[in-house]
Chains A and B, each alone.
Chain A
């Protein structure tokens, strides 16, 4: 009797110990109530493949962090700082969250082909997406929404078919605008990256959701042939950095004023300058980031002095 009881108790202990030994703890992947709330408030949807992943947790944490930074404008102002309000529509983190909410709505995993999620007339469809990333597994993040919208417009123009994105669990979204805000995460969106840099990446990718000035029919034809639209503000495209630049020849500069690097720079600049609840490390990382982003903007000083016009934060569709 006693031996049997001993055996049973040992089994219970073993089972209980095993129950606590998963491949990763839930706290690393499961969203806290606050993170759940911020994802809901932002209206953000994750593809099914991201459920229960570390990437989803990081996005939620990063959004929460953006929302909590105390970055109110200080009295000293400054040239770069004066653009914060026109870009984000206000001076508080809540305004940054609204900027993100309008431009970042769907998050896809980077370790798959976006084409696999596309549907036409409720059927999977192999469709050529112009300018689609070639190395998705390497990416940290990419705004896939603009390319998908161009694809949707081409499909409608040629076949009168609508393009849909299947997020899994019965969620199928019609692709209708660049502001559908579809971003794709890659392996680089990880704990290995500084949090401040991940946060700024969300700001950066969100800006790519704006098609300033709209897409003309001619640009639609160019896009079909895998050429960039003439209106480089549609998606705020990047360009090779100019001669003499430290990154000359690399597609790591803004093609136009107030592109994704400039907007990101203005955000990081505010954090570096006036974040009231940041540690020294956060501020130095933001300062390095701001200096880096503004170095990728053509004639940044002139831009910040207002000599290249005001930022246009609007977004239009296909020009009839």
Chain B
């Protein structure tokens, strides 16, 4: 009988603990910890598979009669990569999203950043973090960025080139003489992109 009461007590305690875990947390002092930018356990390096549009369903919202804002959604990479510190970082060569894929995505979602451009940005973040730490990585990335900026706009859109150019500028400023001459050549060879980046003030980002 005593034994049974002990078991019953233990069962109750375990059950109560489980039940309490399922309850909403009270006014905890830092309920936003997971959202706070400086504390977020985001792993910028998680590799998200490139989103594929669902076969057979790419509903394109009809342009509104009055041209009013409408933001359709499409397949997007997950907003927040899993919070795992050792998630694999993207280390491969950056592949610019094609004009066709961007057009297709914008047809489905006229407002938001096209998913393939966001995926590109995510991979760029991984590569830039590495490049900011080692010169070898910076060398590798800078060459890819040069290629991106010098590509014809039929192949690489201006949005992507602005991203590439801005990051090339950041590397140039970070490493001083290492890329100085090459970056100056890049400025001269891509006046439209350079002008856009200057207008946006992104040529002055200080690390």
Contacts and interface: CB of A to CB of B under 8 A. Distances in A.
Q: Do A and B come from one complex?
A: yes
Interface of A: 1-2, 5-6, 8-10, 12-13, 15-17, 19-22, 25-27, 30, 32-35, 61, 64-65, 68-69, 74, 76-82, 130-131, 133-135, 138-143, 146-147, 186-195, 197-198, 200-201, 204-205, 208, 223, 226-229, 232, 235, 237-240, 246-247, 250-252, 255, 260, 269, 272-275, 277-285, 287-292, 294-295, 300-301, 304-305
Given A13-B11, A33-B27, A272-B202, A193 B66 contact: no
Interface in B148-174: 153, 157-160, 162-163, 166
B22 A131 contact: no
Nearest to A29: B24
Contact of B111 (A16, A76, A133, A204): A204
B37 A282 contact: yes
B193 to A, nearest CB: 10
Nearest to B204: A76
Contacts of B111: 140-141, 201, 204, 252
Contact of B202 (A16, A252, A273): A273
Given A12-B11, A12-B12, A133 B125 contact: no
Contacts of B106: 247, 250, 252
Contacts of A300: 196, 199
A239 to B, nearest CB: 6
Given A13-B11, A208-B69, A64 B35 contact: yes
A135 B202 contact: no
B24 A27 contact: yes
Contact of B110 (A134, A250, A282): A250
Interface string B1-31: 1001101100110111011011111011001
Contact of A76 (B40, B64, B206): B206
Contacts of B28: 32
Contact of B72 (A15, A138, A275, A288): A138
B158 A130 contact: no
B202 A32 contact: no
A112 to B, nearest CB: 16
Interface of B: 1, 4-5, 7-8, 11-12, 14-16, 18-19, 21-25, 27-28, 31-32, 35-38, 40, 42, 44, 59, 61-80, 99, 102-103, 106-107, 109-114, 117-118, 120-122, 124-125, 128-129, 153, 157-160, 162-163, 166, 195-196, 198-206
Contacts, number: 308
A295 B16 CA distance: 57
Contacts of B19: 16, 19-20
B74 to A, nearest CB: 8
Contacts of A142: 68-71
Instruction: From B79, B80, B128, B158, name the one whose CB has the most chain A CB atoms within 10 angstroms.
Output: B79
B69 A204 contact: yes
Contact of A133 (B4, B68, B158): B68
Contact of B15 (A17, A35, A131, A250): A17
Nearest to B32: A34
B72 A226 contact: no
Nearest to A265: B200
A119 B116 CA distance: 42
Instruction: From B12, B37, B160, name the one whose CB has the most chain A CB atoms within 10 angstroms.
Output: B37
Instruction: From A198, A237, A282, A292, name the one whose CB has the most chain B CB atoms within 10 angstroms.
Output: A292
